[in-house]
């Protein structure tokens, strides 16, 4: 889709997301100019076969062992080297670099940076679910 204004129309007919290559390309060019080292870091991180870092999500369903506990009580650092980058509340509110004293709610989402193995370890530890199911460390 090339007309960004048409995205409202597309959403009204039921689309959950709209992808505009021209818009994304423009954002990428602006990011290259404003934050070239950040863009380089992200590109390298996502393509480096040796580091194999990924950003992934773990949803906390009802019954998750994490629900009702504070983030610091989950001891994620003891389970895995995955880094908790953000927390999305069930209502859609984002918390970037969430504080340890934050109470975890059901249907919230943990956004993690780590290897697939590290992220799976967190998922299993908290009784969460992942959309992506990498079959190998390199996936």
- Mark whether 71 and 91 lie in a shared domain: yes
| Structure confidence at residue 135 (pLDDT) | 47
- Mark whether 59 and 110 lie in a shared domain: yes
pLDDT tens digits, residue range 38-62? 999 888 888 887 778 888 999 999 9
- Alpha-carbon distances, residue 132 vs 54, 120, 123 (angstroms): 11, 10, 11
Structure tokens at 101: 């004293």
Domain that holds residue 29: 17-51
In-domain check, residue 93: yes
In-domain check, residue 136: no
Residue from 132, 129, 139 nearest 59 by CA: 129
- Mark whether 88 and 121 lie in a shared domain: yes
pLDDT tens digits, residue range 65-100? 999 999 999 999 888 999 999 999 988 899 999 999
- Mark whether 59 and 40 lie in a shared domain: no
Q: How many domains does the chain have?
A: 2
In angstroms, the CA 87 to CA 82 distance is 14
Structure tokens at 112: 């993690």
Relative to beta strand 94-96, strand 83-88 is antiparallel
| Per-residue confidence band for 2, with pLDDT thresholds at 50, 70 and 90 | low
Radius of gyration of the chain (CA): 17
Give the mean model confidence (pLDDT) for residues 15-19.
Answer: 84
Identify the CATH number of the domain in which residue 118 sits: 3.30.70.1450
| Per-residue confidence band for 126, with pLDDT thresholds at 50, 70 and 90 | very high
CA angle 42, 44, 50 (to 5 degrees): 125
Structure tokens at 133: 């199911």
Looking up tokens 């390298």, which residue turns up? 44
- Mark whether 76 and 107 lie in a shared domain: yes
In angstroms, the CA 96 to CA 74 distance is 17
């Amino acid at each position: 889709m090339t007309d960004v204004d048409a995205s409202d129309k597309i959403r009204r007919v039921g689309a959950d997301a709209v992808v505009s290559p021209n818009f994304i390309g423009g954002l990428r060019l602006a990011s290259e100019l404003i934050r070239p080292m950040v863009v380089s870091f992200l590109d390298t991180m996502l393509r480096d076969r040796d580091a194999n870092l990924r950003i992934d999500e773990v949803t906390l369903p009802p019954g998750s062992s994490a629900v009702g506990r504070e983030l610091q009580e989950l001891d994620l650092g003891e389970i895995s080297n995955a880094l908790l980058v953000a927390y999305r509340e069930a209502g859609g509110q984002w918390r970037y670099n969430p504080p340890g004293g934050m109470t975890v709610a059901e249907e919230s989402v943990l956004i993690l940076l780590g290897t697939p193995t590290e992220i799976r370890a967190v998922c299993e530890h908290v009784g969460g679910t992942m959309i992506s199911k990498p079959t190998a460390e390199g996936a």
